Structure 1
Amino acid sequence: MTVKTLTPAAIRCDEKAHEQNTKSAWFQFIKSIATFKGDLTSLTAPPFLLAPQSIVEYATYWSEHPSLLVAPAKEKNAEKRALLVLQWFLSTLKHQHASKDDNGKRKKPKPLNPFLGEIFLGKWVDESGTTELVSEQVSHHPPKTAYSIWNDAHGVRLEGHIAPRAWFNGAINIERKGYGILHIDEYKEDHLISMPKVHVEGVVTFQIAPELSGTSYIRSSSGYTSRIDYSCKGWLRGKSNSFVATLYRDGDEKNPLYVLEGQWSSSYTIKNKGGKTLQTVDLGKLRRTPLQMAPVEKQHPLESRRAWQLVVDAINENDIFAVGHEKSKIENAQRALRREEKALGVVWNQRYFTEMKEDHLVKKLVTRGKDEEAGEEHMVWRFDKDKYRRILDNQRDGIKSPTHSRFDSGVGFAGGEDCDGI
């Protein structure tokens, strides 16, 4: 029997062919999005573009530095608390929008779209104590993800939801409706946070580089507002990932108390109202606290890492055929589950969050400013901590969830149609 071996030249030839096929598929995808008039989040991306991570995991970026998240709770001065909240927010942008991972490898641009009811649970343990996270996909059409992050030791809670919408006009533009509210028990204080827009440059050349644009705000119930203006490198001047943030008393925007300026991907300076530099912050020196999760085999069927495990394995192995096959199984299962629910006249109930019609706190804080970004999202999901604790107690006692007893993940269904946009 003759054993066929691959020579280095043959390997290079295979790699070149794979690269050419990828580029061809990429340009076909560009053609499709260039003529598509709807929300790009409803399109199914080619397997080679998929990142091994679901959007429902993105809430982890809010608390990769738990000590910064809880720092405002230790500050008695309201003005300085507002500054610490702004610094924490800036620390969340670098890894969330980075084009490369920690090893310098270029990230794949398209995360997995969560299925309805998908959840992600984890916690961080460090000198700040235990900071916990629950994230859930509360809507699929349109896509909306709700999250809650809390640290009981410091009385800090971050809660909110994100509703992305994307379109193409030479670059991929992503608008993130929704908002977050950081609450500090000690001072009965709330900070309303809106998110900047994202535009993904280098799409045509396949040199993808996310940039932030526009303006976002942090409005505090204590009477302070932070405004963050984002800009990118122009044709002749400027630097990538640039921002200028001003912190001012409400009604006195022209006289900022602090000005923070630099790059959200590297470093920035903090100056007082007299123009004196108080601090230079090197974001690259911040060390992220590892997220702790249950082993995949012990996770609930709805948990992201367990539900997408075979898809993620295929993505990491660059097996585009397995990616498509495993992904379709979940898509078809979800479509079958929706048909089953419609036939029975039932709707999916959120596992950890409860829907509310409006948020009076948000309306109160938004009316103090001219921006209405956060107020455009009228439907609100509140984290139900009693429900969460009841589920944990049931799990410890070996009692299965009374909800979704037959259709807990939908992954086991067989169907013949694809579910759009997963």
Structure 2
Amino acid sequence: MVREVGSDTKLAVLTAPFSLENEESDSKYRAPNLIQRILSLLSSVRPGSDLTRLQLPPQFNIPKSQLQCYGESLYSTNSDMLTKCSNEETPLGRFVSVVAWSISTLRPLPFGLAPYNPILGETHHVSRGTLNVLLEQVSHHPPVTALQATDDKNNIEMIWCQSPLPRFHGTYIETEVHGERRLNILDKRETYTMNSPKLVIRFFPLPGVDWLGNVKIRCEESGIEAELCYRGNSFLPRPSIHRSVKGKIFMSSTSKTVYEVSGHWDRTVILKDVSTRKTTTIYDAKEALHRLKTPIVKDPKAVLESESSVVWGEVSEAILEKSWGKAKEIKTCIEEKQREAARERKSRQKQDEEEEEDYIPKYFTVSHSKENGWSCLPNNKLVPTAPIVVND
């Protein structure tokens, strides 16, 4: 954990990113009797209910925002897998690298804890080397996060628009992450589109958190696709299934499989050439997600008031100190200010628009339709260098 005083008025609290070795150590800021507290919290929730409006007490929070979690999947890694995507010489080589990078964005999450729900207009801005990442919460109900990341040196741009929808199903919570992810390799004029697996939190018979479901990755320009299936334990622990991934890379025009993909996203993932039977390790989680560095504030004066680590700084500090009463008081104050702002916006709207929020995002142009869901376009071509950095 890092506590950074941004100025006389801003406190930025930055905590270690999710990694393989800190998966169990997250218990250091858990409240006691967590399982009993979870069951009590969900006792009045009906199966199938949407949990996006559920207000969590700070005892259930990781000391970081969901924006930070999304951002970490890009800027927190030991392997420069994005640069490899751009530098591969052939379309097939680049596609394989994109598949490996996609797998690397999955991180082990602690059971029974969740990040803060971002407030409307909250931002997160971090740089690592020549990669600059910017996120903004562009809608609160439903929650929608827009992300833009650019690496001008390596001709890379990423645009995501993500809207998680958690639902309670009695013995588990399943979160569908709606929205498309686009990775653009600009000098090759290639765009890779992909979706996200589901996040499943199980309570019985074995408590745990898994990424499950199907992911499709496609590059229209090269005519190559991939289908990946993420699996996990259901009832009994099975090491061969737990956190496993299996799939194929094939040509869109003929559906001919070129490579088979298999392994575990928290261990290693293997690529097998179906014609030669030769195997190659395309992803090593221990190498990529081991001892990840915590971001630091490099330019305190440039940190925005809307920065996640500032918005939630005092709450995070109280959680780390296990001062639950203080954390609840500060968190309630933040959430009440957001509700008051929503009421003020609603009072200014015409009756026929009362269901719409008139919030205009600062960094993105956002649209929504029943057919295509949420989409976002960045207002600027490049993300500027951030005041918060991850040192190599």
Structure-2-length-normalised TM-score: 0.79
* Distance in 2 (alpha carbons) for counterparts of 1:137 and 1:204: 33
Alignment of 1:53-202 (within 5 A): 53-60=64-71, 61-65=73-77, 67-93=80-106, 96-99=107-110, 109-125=113-129, 130-169=130-169, 170-201=171-202
- 1:227 matched to 2:231? The reply is no
RCO higher in structure (CA 8 A, sep ≥6): 2
Q: Which moved more, 1:35-44 or 1:228-237?
A: 228-237
Give secondary structure in 1 for the equivalent of 2:56: coil
Identity %: 23
- Do the aligned partners of residues 297 and 316 (structure 1) sit closer, same or farther apart at CA in structure 2, a change above 3 Å counting? farther
CA distance in 1, matches of 2:172, 2:367: 35
Equivalent AA in structure 2 for residue 276 of structure 1? K
| RMSD of aligned Cα (Å) | 2.6
C-alpha distance after superposition, 1:122-178 (max 9, x if no partner): 1002xxxx1000000000000000001110001100111110111122111110100
Counterpart residue identity of residue 317, structure 1: E
Which stretch of structure 1 is more off in the superposition, 37-46 or 214-223?
A: 37-46
Tell me the distance in 1 between the aligned counterparts of 2:213 and 2:195.
Answer: 11
1:31 is aligned to 43
Partner residue in 1 for 2:375 = 380
- Ranges in structure 2 where 5+ consecutive residues have no aligned partner: 1-30, 350-356, 387-392
- Max Rg structure: 1
| Other-structure match for 2:17 | none
The match for 1:336 is 340
Deviation at 1:185, TM superposition (A): 1.1
Q: Is the 8 A contact 2:367 2:374 kept in 1?
A: yes
Assess, with a 3 A threshold, how the Cα gap between structure 1 residues 310 and 111 changes in structure 2: closer, same or farther. same
SS at match of 1:339: helix
| Distance in structure 2 (CA, Å) of the matches to 1:74 and 1:271 | 22
SS in structure 1 at match of 2:225: strand
Letter in 1 for 2:233: K
**Structure 1 CA distance, aligned partners of 2:228 and 2:84?**
20
**Whose helix fraction is larger, Structure 1's or Structure 2's?**
1
- Paired with 2:375 and 2:148, the residues of 1 have a C-alpha distance of 13
SS in 2 for 1:89: helix
Indicate conservation of the 8 Å contact 1:29/1:46, yes or no: no
- CA distance, structure 1, for counterparts of residue 343 and residue 57 of structure 2: 26
CA distance in 2, matches of 1:387, 1:335: 33
Tell me the amino acid that sits aligned with residue 125 of structure 2: L
Gaps of 5+ in 1: 1-17, 100-106, 359-374, 393-422
Task: Return the alpha-carbon distance in structure 2 between the equivalents of residues 28 and 85 of structure 1.
Answer: 42
**TM-score, L = length of structure 1:** 0.74
Higher strand share: 2
- Per the TM alignment, residue 62 of structure 1 is displaced from its structure 2 partner at its CA by 2.5
**Corresponding residue for residue 418 of structure 1:** none
**Partner of 2:319: helix, strand, or coil?**
helix
The aligned amino acid for 1:57 is Q
- Cα distance in 2 for partners of 1:191, 1:307 equals 33
Q: Which amino acid aligns with 1:144?
A: V
- Number of residues paired by the alignment? 340
Contact 1:30-1:204 within 8 A present in 2 as well: no
